[in-house]
Amino acid sequence: MGKAMTSHHEGGCLCGAVRYQIGEPARFSSICHCRDCQRATGSPVSGFVGVALENFALLAGEQAIYESSPGVRRGFCRQCGTSLTYAGDPWPGEIHIYTATLDDPTVLPPSVHSMMTDNVTWFVTDDDLLQRSGFGSKT
């Protein structure tokens, strides 16, 4: 990692082959409802924590990278298939970690739901978090 972190969190994949560490501050923590994340994970939603790339380090193993669409790179464990990271050209210098892969996924709770236009109708979002129709829109 490029600089010393005051607070860090570790996580990894299901089989333990890939381990990572992220440092705060987190740039965001959200729940994504987009169709691409649904297909990539097999889940109706994906929790993400975004950090500066310099605040991310692999501690063990190596991620396989899949370019799921132009300019979008998804990292996963090549042994067990766990989705671990997301990086995209619209967010240079940033990496998004799947929140549930943190050893303690409660440490950086989400503040927003994004891509609500793709929400699966049977998935009820009944909380007080802000809901956005897209990634960067205000509604």
Provide the 8-state DSSP code for 106: T
pLDDT at 3: 46
pTM of the predicted structure, to 2 decimals: 0.88
Give residue 6's pLDDT: 59
pLDDT score for 135 = 76
Residue 85 to residue 116: CA distance in whole angstroms: 21
Kindly state the DSSP code that residue 138 receives in the 8-state scheme. -
Per-residue pLDDT at 136: 58
The domain ranges of the chain are 18-131
Residue type at 18? V
Residue 120 neighbours by CB under 8 Å, 6+ apart? 33, 38, 44
Residues 93-111: tens digit of each pLDDT: 999 999 999 999 999 999 9
Query: Options 3.90.1590.10, 2.60.40.420, 3.30.450.20, 3.40.50.800; which CATH number does 18-131 get?
Result: 3.90.1590.10
Q: Which residues of the chain have pLDDT under 70?
A: 1-6, 136-139
Q: Which of 81, 85, 103 is nearest to 94 (CA)?
A: 85
